[in-house]
Amino acid sequence: MTDHRVAVITGGNRGLGRSAARSLAAAGYRIVVTHRPGGEATDTARLIEAAGGDVMTMPLDISDVSAFSAFVSDLEQGLTSRWGASRLDVLVNNAGIGLFDPLAEVTPERFDLLVGTNFRGTFFLIQALVPLMGDGSRIVNISTSLTRHVSPGTSIYTAAKSAVEALTRTLAVELGPRGIRINTVAPGPTATDFNGGAMRDNAELRGYLATQTALGRVGRPEEIGDAIAALVSDQMRWVTAERLEVSGGALL
């Protein structure tokens, strides 16, 4: 592996985050995976280590902005003691939640939780970690194909992810002078444990969604991870402020 290339993936204990961690490890990155406090990411760590990669796991609740300062301090210490590294090369903002309610049932508490986690948390984590990122580093924010097409009950979730996409474009200008590229990956229907594993476990739902994609099936988690690894690669070095939808041509 190339020395000191480090990628942080939030919410890397399962689903798309785990897939991104595996794909970036295969590309030669040393991996920092975050998970919710009280949880663990041992399965992700085992998968990466079994493939010859190097991984460190850390607790992080991205809805708790007040904890970010301590997280950054612990991360700096971990990078130094584990790998002798002093900077990050890639940040993948994957951690988030999906809550889906029709308009009449949205409560202020649910609204604040969705926006606070998916947008506010992403914003302030970028703010906290950019000082640790070297010139020429890369940031990938995870959005959703739902910012292009619509589905009932997704209004707040989609609005928060749309805000992430707008943030990506704005920060591309702010961070561009340092050569930091920032892009969005917007997955379409993918068979993960997101939303209770509905697309992974419900064959009827998968079959229906498959009819809505140009490629005739739902996505696999590794296809999202591979797209993230490709986007941060040097082959994509002239790409920033873009939204890459990885959906198999959903609802065209």
Q: Mention every residue, 6+ apart, whose C-beta is less than 8 A from residue 76.
A: 86, 132
pLDDT tens for each residue of 111-170: 999 999 999 999 999 999 999 999 999 999 999 999 999 889 999 999 999 999 999 999
Give the model's pLDDT for residue 204.
77
- Reading the block at residue 92, the tokens are 């993948």
Do 118 and 62 touch, CB atoms closer than 8 A? no
Give the model's pLDDT for residue 206.
77
- Reading the block at residue 183, the tokens are 């892009």
Do 133 and 88 touch, CB atoms closer than 8 A? yes
pTM: 0.94
Give the model's pLDDT for residue 133.
98
- What is the fold, at CATH topology level, of the domain defined by 6-245? Rossmann fold (3.40.50)
**Residue 157 annotated in active site:** yes
Ranges of the chain whose pLDDT falls below 50: 1-2
Q: Which of 71, 119, 157, 194 is catalytic?
A: 157
Give the model's pLDDT for residue 213.
94
Residue pointed to by tokens 């988030």:
96
